[in-house]
Structure 1
Amino acid sequence: MPTRRLKLEPDSPVPLYTQIKDMLRTGILDGHYAPLSRMPSESELQAMSDVSRITIRQALGDLQKEGLIFKVHGKGSFVSQPKAFQNVTSLQGFAEAMSRQGHEIVNRVVHFRFVPAPANVALRLDVTDGETVTEIHRVRLLNRAPVSYEVTYLPEALGRQLQRADLVTRDIFLILENDCAVPLGSADLSIDAVQADAALASALSTTEGAPLLRIERLTHDRQGHPIDFEFLYFRGDTFQYRLRVDREHAAAPRPSGARRPARPRRLSAAGHD
């Protein structure tokens, strides 16, 4: 990557390290510094800006805190791979959302089996304890790298219909709607953070104890019946869930002493009192 002079403004109220950070951030976001490419070294950045090494380190440190770069001991700083993300303002399957962003999604089916419903699953799916349900485990691969581990429970009847479905390349949501004629209605989600146990760490190619984003999702059909209960475990370093919320504005309080608006006069059918 060819170096280029950083045009700093020494008389600006904005600190020099902030100016450098902002210029480097712009270079990362506009593609001048490609994902996983090496950033200019501290000495190269000094030559590009004529500032102290402490100022350079402060700028790089802030970029690292923002997740835009990462450091490799003895090799320097590198541009982070952008995280994939999914908006949760609409009900979508993972592949459905990612393919719209140009990502390749493939699934590795770990288990497909029929098991007695654990108590928490029976409660969510509104079946009796121990009743047979379908349990599906899949590793979701984003651009050929493992990004999430998905544990799905469905009523047995729906699971029987999914036995011959293409679970390697298709979302269960789309299979339910298109193959099983089950229109989806809504979903309840809860999100928390957990640490990867040995099994999850192995499946997701990460280290035991690594942070994972856990999504618990209960999906209902259009009539409100629960049909799909799942746990989704995402690698915290590769994926984000995003949502937009609007502030609800309360009605403006009426000034003290203000008179209530007069009620409209009620007219009879003849048009008068």
Structure 2
Amino acid sequence: MDLQYYCTIPENKQNYSFFVMDHYPLNQVLRIRGRSSYSYLNRSTGKILTMKIAAGVGENQAIVQASRQVDFEVVLTESEEELLDMLLNGEVAAAIRGSLSASHFMARLRELYPEVYRASLLDIQGRLFLLAPVGIDEGDTLKQKRKIIEYGDKFLRQMGLNPKIAILSGGRPQDIGRSSRIDKTIQEAEELTRITRDKYAVKHYFILIEDAIADGANMILAPDGICGNLIFRSLVLLGSIQSQGAVTLGIDEIFIDTSRSQNEEGYLRALKLAEKLAKQH
């Protein structure tokens, strides 16, 4: 039977090492890694809390290496259910998916919250912007896209940024008539712009994502989640754009979604984003 050790880091250890406490079957264990944890003030409750973040471990072990490079406690688990329980029960300040599958986790989360969307926080030469939706089953309706704009605008303001939202569609203005699918995306983007522009700084850039970035947009709204996911993979997994993880919009807790294909540096950025958001929460 595969065994895994339960390890903990004493609070007074600055240069950490691991202390074996006991061993259990692999599917029953939490692995705790990181340097000594520290306390922080939770802004919403006024309580002093210990910085502890949970992360999931699947086939990609890069998250394990990343967890060793932070100055707070990281609780690693191979169970989606356990990861969600720790987050919802308040055992941790935040959680990141790491390299676990998202299907079961997101299904349970949506049982508690009716409107849950993911938006990747990307970095282009030091400039942050949100890309949404990136969940392949998100952003299919006008109502969902409007909600994503609302949540995204709020998140950017919490980050200290002035929201500038670019709405994308499937073609240029002169492409209308070439395909019913193209026509639908353009018409929906035009309608979405019309119903949100009185409250939010939105502009329809059609298919020209490069123009949106050049104009300083800090939120890119893709035509749907499949398009958003493909844009993410092209920019981050194939290109040189850095991802800090995908923030989960529409929930009270802090959950950072990450690709199962991410590298060690990408997981490290996600852990640091989770820490930053926990301090602001």
TM-score, reference length from structure 2: 0.27
Name the structure with the higher strand share: 1
Q: Which has the higher helix share?
A: 2
Higher-RCO chain (CA-CA 8 Å, sequence separation at least 6): 2
Q: TM-score, normalised by structure 1?
A: 0.28
Please say which structure displays the higher CA radius of gyration.
1
